């Protein structure tokens, strides 16, 4: 995520968002731990007869992601 944020900033972006499946708790926890906030935009994917609800997380400022230390 740090490298992605740095790449986007190099291209002129100051904010970013990602989508995650609503029921994938590990993914949601991961984005929240990195400071991502739910954007309030929810969606639904329909694939091969499956209904997969998703949510969007966003960062209004990429600097904290870029400055994050890898542990």
Q: What is the CATH number of the domain that holds 17?
A: 3.40.630.30
> Exposure pattern of 6-44 as b/e (b: 16+ CB <10 Å)?
eebbeeeeeebebbbeeeeeebbeebeebebeeeeeeee
Range of the domain at 38: 2-67
Q: In what order do the strands lie in the sheet with 37-47?
A: 16-21, 50-59, 37-47
Structure confidence at residue 41 (pLDDT): 87
Per DSSP, 60 falls in state: S
State yes or no: pLDDT of 69 exceeds 80: no
The per-residue pLDDT for range 13-65, each reduced to its tens digit, is 999 999 999 999 999 999 999 999 999 989 998 989 999 999 999 999 999 99
Structure confidence at residue 68 (pLDDT): 77
- Total of domains in the chain: 1
58 vs 71, higher pLDDT:
58
Per DSSP, 33 falls in state: H
Structure confidence at residue 34 (pLDDT): 93
């Amino acid at each position: 995520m740090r490298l992605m944020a740095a790449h986007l900033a190099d291209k002129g972006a100051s904010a970013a968002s990602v989508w995650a499946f609503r029921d994938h708790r590990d993914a949601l926890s991961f984005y929240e731990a990195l400071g991502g906030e739910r954007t309030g935009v929810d969606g639904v994917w329909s694939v091969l007869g499956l209904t997969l609800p998703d949510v969007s997380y966003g960062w209004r400022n990429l600097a904290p992601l870029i400055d994050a230390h890898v542990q």
